[in-house]
Amino acid sequence: MRELLIVLAVVLLVWVVALAVLVLVGRKIAAKRLLTLVPNLVSLFRGLLGDDRVPISSKVLLGAGLVWIVSPIDLVPEFIPVLGPFDDAVVGALVLRHVVRRAGPSVVAEHWRGDDATLAVLLRVAGVRKDRRNDPRLTA
């Protein structure tokens, strides 16, 4: 148990340092997006899990992705700068890409609680082209 607390403390420290660096170099909006990305992804995945328009196969992937993101055990440890959160981002992007293709970008947008510009970036990473979007929340 003590080792887990140490790992969590190191992860928190790296997160705070990354946020501080972004603020110090004048990237306050990027710092805010970084600060809220993981909680917004967790909220998004939880909302999509309860949506009847999302197929069961996608819900299974959402559940696995949610467990992966919140789990302190990763392929690349979180305390390694830049690469640490990378595996969480890749898993999140792959799961989101699958859900967008199965349920549609408008369903994802309905459950997104974060910044609209961040949603636009996530959907672009998920392979949604701008000309296919009909929801005004999906335009950057």
| Chain segment 65-92, per-residue pLDDT in tens | 888 877 777 676 766 665 666 777 778 7
| pLDDT confidence band for 120 (50 / 70 / 90) | confident
Which of 49, 53, 35 minimizes the C-alpha distance to 118? Answer: 35
Q: Could you tell me the end-to-end alpha-carbon distance of the chain, in angstroms, rounded to an integer?
A: 44
Token pair for residue 4? 């887990």
139: confidence class by pLDDT, cuts 50, 70, 90? very low
Tens-digit pLDDT profile for residues 15-62: 677 778 878 888 888 777 777 777 888 888 889 999 999 999 999 998
Give the tokens for residue 59. 């819900």
In the numeric block, which tokens belong to residue 140? 């950057």
